[in-house]
Amino acid sequence: MTVSPRSEQKSYDPEERYTLLFYSAIDAIVSLDKNFRVFLINPSAEKMFGFLASELLGNSIEEQFPLRIRNRFYRILKNVAKLADKKRQKPFGPIRLIRKDKTILISEVSVSITGPENDYQYHVIIRDISEKYRILIELKRANQTLKRMDREKEELLEKLEEKVRQRSRQLANYYKIMKEELSLAKRLQTEILSDIPVIPGIRVHSSYLPMMEVGGDLYDLFEIRPGVMRVFLADATGHGVQAALLTMTLKGILESIKKKNMDPGSILTEFNREYCKNFGNIGMFFSCFLADIDTNIKKIVYSSGGHPPQFFLSNELIMGLDRTGSLLGLDPDNQYGIFSLAYQDGDRLFLLTDGIYEEFNSEKQQFGELVVQKILAEKFAAPMQETIPAILKALFDHLGSQKIQDDITAILISLDSND
């Protein structure tokens, strides 16, 4: 008779299989009798609790639970016993267990029950979730911290928003006050740009464009004696309110000396000395051009302190009127010379501040002096009121979308006894 190899294989009964699983299980397994005394414990449980099996067998497991947890544990076991399916595993936790070294183990526990009702056996599977529990607690704390930070952030944002609203209201009020003050400053500055006197043989056309509400250019035209017009033009360093305040200062000094019977060079020398004496410590300087136009003898005498060349125009030439001294405000002992020239009917004098030249477009290209000279030559025979608008149009065409970057003053004086 041939014996099948399959029939020679050893078959394991259920009890043997259970025993094999019991002793090889990764999780701790402890079996309790109906009085909750240990009658079976696997190696994983010994390792988890730190007790030998001989130390636990026959003893109650309650010593492995903190006092406040024992009753809960026993109550859970009894509740499982009341279930219809006694083999059903009932996980619960997290629950604290005490090791032999008195350290705490955070665990998750499952329970199944075997045996008759009057002799139940409780099989407890214990899984160590200490690390998982620690991570969950840290996540919970981190979540609470984030929620607290969110609340603090919201509170901070509310406070910041309120501060921004308050600051915005303050700035709006300051801006309103500043606009009112700038408007007043503009009116005051307009007032100091004196009316042009009517003198036979002289016609004047001018344009003043401050970069801001107020600027640092100042001009004044006045008659110092019959038939003689004195023309004053100054350009303060800087822009805006600071430069405008300097022009107020200059106007004050000018009023005290402007009609003195002295040549333009002597006027500028005294002007510089007075300015340095009273305001030299503020560190602000200015260029200045002063000319006397005598229609009686058709003569121009001028002095220029650090000012860019002004232009004398005639049928025959365009001549630059160069400076005769340095910027005013640098040294109280500076002296300013004069230069004289005769003119004929039809000649013109074009005065300006360097703001016209020093204007750059978006490609950083400067407007420059040559364009101005070209337009002056082209418009010499045209009506005088066309010249300055032509220069300004060319300037704004050059700038495109760019705004002007300096104060601009242009004064064209026509010299003709037939006017």
d(C-alpha 34, C-alpha 61), whole Å: 12
Between 95 and 188, the higher pLDDT residue: 95
**Peptide bond before residue 94 is cis, with ω within 30 degrees of 0:** yes
What pLDDT does 191 receive?
55
* pLDDT (tens digit per residue) in 32-65: 888 888 998 999 988 988 889 888 898 887 778 7
Kindly indicate the confidence band of residue 12, based on its pLDDT and cuts at 50, 70 and 90. Answer: low
Asked whether the predicted pLDDT for residue 15 surpasses 80, the reply is no
pLDDT surpasses 80 at 94? yes
pLDDT digits (tens, 9 = 90+) for 232-285: 999 988 767 777 778 888 888 998 999 999 999 999 999 999 999 998 888 889
pLDDT of residue 266: 97
| 302 vs 94, more confident | 302
Residue 264: what pLDDT? Answer: 97
- Identify the pLDDT of residue 319: 94
Mean pLDDT within 219-237: 92
Neighbours of 364 (CB within 10 A): 6
pLDDT tops 80 at residue 368: yes
155-205: pLDDT as tens digits: 888 888 888 888 877 766 755 655 555 555 555 545 545 567 889 999 999
Average pLDDT over residues 337-361: 93
**Across the chain, what does the average pLDDT equal?**
84
Interhelix angle for 264-279 vs 240-257, to 10°? 120
Note the pLDDT of residue 187: 56
**Residue 247: its pLDDT value, please?**
82
Q: Output the pLDDT for position 180.
A: 55
Q: What is the pLDDT of residue 3?
A: 47
Q: Find the mean pLDDT for residues 202-219.
A: 83
Over residues 288-293, the mean pLDDT reads 97
Quote the percentage of the chain above a pLDDT of 90: 36
Per-residue confidence band for 86, with pLDDT thresholds at 50, 70 and 90: low
- CA quadruple 363, 364, 367, 369: dihedral positive or negative? negative
Rounded Cα distance between 169 and 49, Å, is 70
358: closest CA among 391, 393, 407, 402? 407
pLDDT score, position 1: 46
Short-list 107, 207, 205, 137, CA closest to 409: 207
Residue in 215, 217, 228 with CA at minimum distance from that of residue 286? 217
Name beta bridge partners: 328.
Answer: 286
**Lowest mean pLDDT across 147-161, 170-184, 344-358:** 170-184
Are 303 and 326 within 8 A, CB to CB? no
Is residue 320 over pLDDT 60? yes
Reply yes or no on whether the pLDDT at 370 is more than 80.
yes
